[in-house]
Amino acid sequence: GENVEQHPSTLSVQEGDSAVIKCTYSDSASNYFPWYKQELGKRPQLIIDIRSNVGEKKDQRIAVTLNKTAKHFSLHITETQPEDSAVYFCAAMFAGGTSYGKLTFGQGTILTVHP
C-alpha cells in the first residue's frame, strides 16, 4: 500500500525566513497531493494541493513542487510569519485498483516561526 514519509518532524525558523517541508510517496499510482495545516486544537485545513499532471503550483507565499519521477513533493513557505506556526501534513491519494481514493498522510511537521 501507499506509504508517505515526511521530513523534518520539527522545523524552527525566524520570521521572514523560508520554510521547506519534504515528502516522499511509494506508489506511482498516486496522483493527488494535498497539504494541510492544523493549528492547535483545530481541525486540519487544506492550504494547497497539486495533481500529478502539474510540476509546481503557487498561492501567494505558499508553493508546492512535485517530482513524479523521484516520487517526492515539497511545500515551500516564504516570508514566514508567526501565524504560520502550526502542524503541517502532506498526503497522497491513490488512484489505482481496489485502493482507489485512499488518502494517506505523512507524519506531520511542527513548524515554529519565531518573531
Nearest distance in Å: CB 10, another protein: 10
Chain centroid to Cα 9, Å, comes to: 12
C-alpha cell at 50: 497539486
Minimum separation from the CB atom of position 67 to another protein (A): 18
In the complex, least distance from residue 106 CB atom to another protein, rounded to whole angstroms = 6
Question: Given the complex with another protein, which of 11 and 49 has the nearer CB atom?
Answer: 49
Complex with another protein: residue 11 or 78, whichever CB lies closer: 11
Instruction: Using CB under 8 A, list all residues that contact another protein.
Output: 1, 6, 9, 31-32, 34, 42-46, 49, 51, 89, 91, 93-95, 98-108
Least Å distance, CB 33 to another protein, is 10
Q: How far is CA 32 from CA 49, 68, 93, in A?
A: 7, 11, 5
Cα dist from 24 to 8, 9, 27, 58, 86, whole Å: 12, 14, 10, 19, 21
In angstroms and rounded to an integer, the radius of gyration of the C-alpha atoms of the chain is: 14
Nearer to another protein, 73 or 89 (CB): 89
Q: Which is nearer to another protein, 73 or 94 (CB)?
A: 94
115, 43, 104, 62 alpha-carbon torsion, rounded to 10°:
-40
